[in-house]
Amino acid sequence: MKEWDVVCIVCPKGCRMKVTEENNDMKVSGNQCKRGLTYGVKEVTNPTRVITSTVKVNHPIHRRMPVVTKGAVPKGMMLDVMKEINLIELELPIMVGDMIIGDVLGTGINIVASRTIK
Amino acid sequence: MREYDTIIIGGGPAGLAAAVEIYNEGVTDILILERDIQLGGILQQCIHNGFGLHEFKEELTGPEYAQRFIDKVEELKIPYKINTMVLDITKEKEIHIMNSEDGYQILKAKTIVLAMGCRERTAGAISLPGTRPVGIITAGTAQYYLNMKGYLVGKKVFILGSGDIGLIMARRMTLEGATVLGVAEILPYSGGLTRNIVQCLHDFDIPLYLSHTVAKVKGKDRVEGLTLMEVDENRKPIKGTEQEFEVDALLLSVGLIPDNELSESADIDIHRRTNGPIVNEKMETNVEGIFACGNVLHVHDLVDFVSAESRRAGRGVVRYLNGEKTLSKGVETVNGQGVSYVVPQKLHVDQIEGKFAEVFLRTTDVYHDAKIVIKLDGKEIKTFKRPHLAPAEMEHLKINKELIDIDYGQLSVEVVEKEAN
């Protein structure tokens, strides 16, 4: 039997969980909600993270537009995704939720603006 | 002199939530005063996600969370002035303001909402030993430079203090190409949320040095290095534990202080433990008609709770304007064993909305398998079981108001650790 100690990062509660695998059967304990169950299994099989950063904008007052991945990308690809984000330069106006990069590096995840700058 | 029904000082999450609530409750003569170039407050630079799980049942970034309230304020056409500094307020509810459009003006209000937020403790505040070269900077300032201006303040970074902003900045600077050599915390436990230790430090193999502090800063013009030392239980550095680090920036994440200079000028009583105004169940201060909410009242770890608290203050404003009077003398809340503070500090049972009195508290230490015991004039009336308590995690309790239905008295809140059998 394999066993992992995982701290859930889905919400600020930070449940301390135990994930076990026996005969391809994954079990999670210590979680206080359903999302912990999904996170626990994913964290030991295919860990992913939401990335937030900023991109350059051309504007008299504002210099950066905050952006966020709409969904989580594989943890190992974080630095590659950062490189893609850092290539972007935006013309305004941009509204919150507008697409900045579609399907970043073939992950199926879009990167969107996280505020409105007019 | 034009008299507003309510003036809100601060256009961050607290001020915006209060404004929307006041409007929705039927009072529309509102003015929000904000010193920054835009509404949204500190959330605009908190570009990371994790906001809004309580408020919107989804995970948002700071700017996204702020945008929802800004859009609401714009939609309702609630008036606001940006780039406007409040210089002084008086207990007669006169507000002295200054901006480049209107110049110096005195405004009058029937009610005021204090929503100025908090500021960071600095190198001076913690008596950081060593020189004072360029490159020693609070984590929030480094965050402002990076996320608002696009400047990385260092390439080889050390962080003193394990507050959430420091942890968030450890990850953020790493992703932008800096090397974060470590985070030191003088206490034996972290000051940040556990999830931030995991996703900001463990993910990037950044060491967390608990019971350690920066014993010396080196460098004449620019910071060049520092000495890290382990501390004993009295927080005294232990000889022989010196470790040297070569750095070009030292970030400080060593606590936040409610920003109450304006409150004090209006004769508002400040609580010595929260460093914020003393308030009642409606978030009203000792000066009638002046309310306080958000981080100016006490430092929160979740903005969701700021929004909820600010709506409560907003409803308090409207009830005050409607001429509601408090009948009871009020129950005073006090911190007992293991509790560092309780907010609100006064509860008038006849004024509490709904069935429950809501109180917020922080503990003085980390506790496991503990219970929070509520006593009214020394008599136990309610206990709450808690598997885990930590100073970094604010506790929220709901106490049935029938249990405290008296004219005046003292409600104490204490932590009792389960005895080992």
Domains in chain A: how many in total? 2
Q: In Å, what is the CA distance from B148 to each residue of A52, A74, B145?
A: 13, 27, 6
Q: Is A74 domain-assigned?
A: yes
Question: What CA dihedral angle connects B96, B116, B144 and A58, to 10 degrees?
Answer: -60
Please tell me the distance from the alpha carbon of residue B313 to that of residue B5, in angstroms, as a whole number.
Answer: 14
Contacts of B258 (CB under 8 A, 6+ apart): B116, B117, B118, B274, B275, B276, B295, B296, B297, B298, B299
Residue A74 shares a structural domain with residue A99: yes
Contact A54 B53 (CB under 8 A): no
Contacts of A47 (CB under 8 A, 6+ apart): A74, A75
Residue A36 shares a structural domain with residue A71: no
How far is C-alpha B145 from the chain's CA centre? Answer: 21
Rounded to 10°, the helix B13-24/B303-321 angle is 40
Contact A11 B195 (CB under 8 A): yes
Nearest Cβ partner for B194 among A7, A51, A68: A7
Q: Is the pLDDT of residue B355 over 90?
A: yes
> Which amino acid is present at A75?
K
Using 50, 70 and 90 to split pLDDT, how confident is the model at B325? confident
Residue A41 shares a structural domain with residue A78: no
List the end-to-end C-alpha distance of chain A, in Å, as a whole number. Answer: 56
For residue B388, the model assigns a pLDDT of 84
Please tell me the distance from the alpha carbon of residue B192 to that of residue B227, in angstroms, as a whole number.
Answer: 23
CB atoms within 10 A of CB B372: 23
Contact A7 B66 (CB under 8 A): no
Please tell me the distance from the alpha carbon of residue B363 to that of residue B390, in angstroms, as a whole number.
Answer: 6
> Which amino acid is present at B147?
N
Contacts of B314 (CB under 8 A, 6+ apart): B17, B18, B19, B20, B21, B22, B25, B113
Chain A within 8 Å of B398 (Cβ-Cβ)? no
Query: Which pairing describes strands B249-252 and B156-160: parallel, antiparallel, or unpaired?
Result: parallel
Do residues B416 and B385 touch, judged by C-beta distance below 8 A?
A: no
Q: In Å, what is the CA distance from A98 to each residue of A66, A92, B91, B323?
A: 11, 11, 46, 46
What is the count of residue pairs from A and B with beta carbons less than 8 Å apart?
Answer: 81
Residue A106 shares a structural domain with residue A66: yes
For residue A23, the model assigns a pLDDT of 87
A13 chain-B contacts, CB cut-off 8 A:
195
Contact A53 B64 (CB under 8 A): no
Q: Is A105 domain-assigned?
A: yes
Chain A within 8 Å of B198 (Cβ-Cβ)? yes
Q: Is A118 domain-assigned?
A: no
Residue A102 shares a structural domain with residue A77: yes
pLDDT tens digits along B127-151: 999 888 999 999 999 999 999 999 9
Q: Is A108 domain-assigned?
A: yes
Please tell me the distance from the alpha carbon of residue B179 to that of residue B176, in angstroms, as a whole number.
Answer: 9
Please tell me the distance from the alpha carbon of residue A42 to that of residue A47, in angstroms, as a whole number.
Answer: 6
A11 chain-B contacts, CB cut-off 8 A:
50, 53, 59, 195
For residue B301, the model assigns a pLDDT of 87
Q: Is A96 domain-assigned?
A: yes
Nearest CA in chain A to B71: A116
Retrieve residue A34's tokens.
């359903």
CATH number for the domain harbouring residue A89: 3.10.530.10
For residue A1, the model assigns a pLDDT of 83
Contact B175 A51 (CB under 8 A): yes
Q: Is A61 domain-assigned?
A: yes
Q: Is A64 domain-assigned?
A: yes
Q: What is the ipTM of this complex?
A: 0.91
Residue A56 shares a structural domain with residue A109: yes
Residues paired with B347 in a beta bridge: B331
Residue A37 shares a structural domain with residue A79: no
Residue A76 shares a structural domain with residue A103: yes
Please tell me the distance from the alpha carbon of residue B133 to that of residue B225, in angstroms, as a whole number.
Answer: 10
Contact A9 B66 (CB under 8 A): no
Please tell me the distance from the alpha carbon of residue A94 to that of residue A59, in angstroms, as a whole number.
Answer: 11
The residue behind tokens 């109180």 is B359
Residue A89 shares a structural domain with residue A57: yes
Contact B66 A115 (CB under 8 A): yes
Query: Which pairing describes strands B85-89 and A25-29: parallel, antiparallel, or unpaired?
Result: unpaired
Using 50, 70 and 90 to split pLDDT, how confident is the model at B330? very high
Residue A87 shares a structural domain with residue A108: yes
b/e sequence A62-90, b meaning 16+ C-beta within 10 Å: bebbbbbbeebbeeebbeebeeebeebeb
Average pLDDT, chain B: 95
For residue B380, the model assigns a pLDDT of 95
Q: What is the mean pLDDT of each run of 10 residues along chain A (118 residues)?
A: 88 85 90 90 92 95 96 95 96 95 97 96
Which of B145, B147, B152 is the best mutation test for A, with the most CBs of A within 10 A? B147
Structural domain that includes position A21:
2-46
Chain A within 8 Å of B3 (Cβ-Cβ)? no
Residue A57 shares a structural domain with residue A22: no
Contact A114 B64 (CB under 8 A): yes
Q: How does DSSP assign B222-242, residue by residue? A: B--EEEEEEB-TTSPBPTT--
Which of B46, B144, B168, B194 is the best mutation test for A, with the most CBs of A within 10 A? B194
Contact B47 A49 (CB under 8 A): no
> Which amino acid is present at B200?
C
Please tell me the distance from the alpha carbon of residue B338 to that of residue B272, in angstroms, as a whole number.
Answer: 17
Using 50, 70 and 90 to split pLDDT, how confident is the model at B421? very low
Q: What percent of chain B shows pLDDT beyond 70?
A: 99
pLDDT tens digits along B62-116: 999 999 999 999 999 999 999 999 999 999 999 999 999 999 999 999 999 999 9
For residue B420, the model assigns a pLDDT of 47
Nearest Cβ partner for B53 among A11, A56, A115: A11
| Helix (H) and strand (E) counts in chain A | 2, 10
Contacts of B257 (CB under 8 A, 6+ apart): B118, B119, B120, B121, B125, B275, B299
Please tell me the distance from the alpha carbon of residue A21 to that of residue B69, in angstroms, as a whole number.
Answer: 44
Q: How does DSSP assign A42-57, residue by residue? A: HHHHS-EE--EEEEEE
Using 50, 70 and 90 to split pLDDT, how confident is the model at B419? low
pLDDT tens digits along B151-197: 999 999 999 999 899 999 999 999 999 999 999 999 998 888 888 99
> Which amino acid is present at B355?
K
Residue A99 shares a structural domain with residue A57: yes
Contact B63 A96 (CB under 8 A): yes
Minimal C-alpha gap between B205 and chain A (Å): 13
Average pLDDT, stretch B388-398?
A: 90
Query: pTM surpassing 0.80?
Result: yes
Please tell me the distance from the alpha carbon of residue B22 to that of residue B93, in angstroms, as a whole number.
Answer: 18
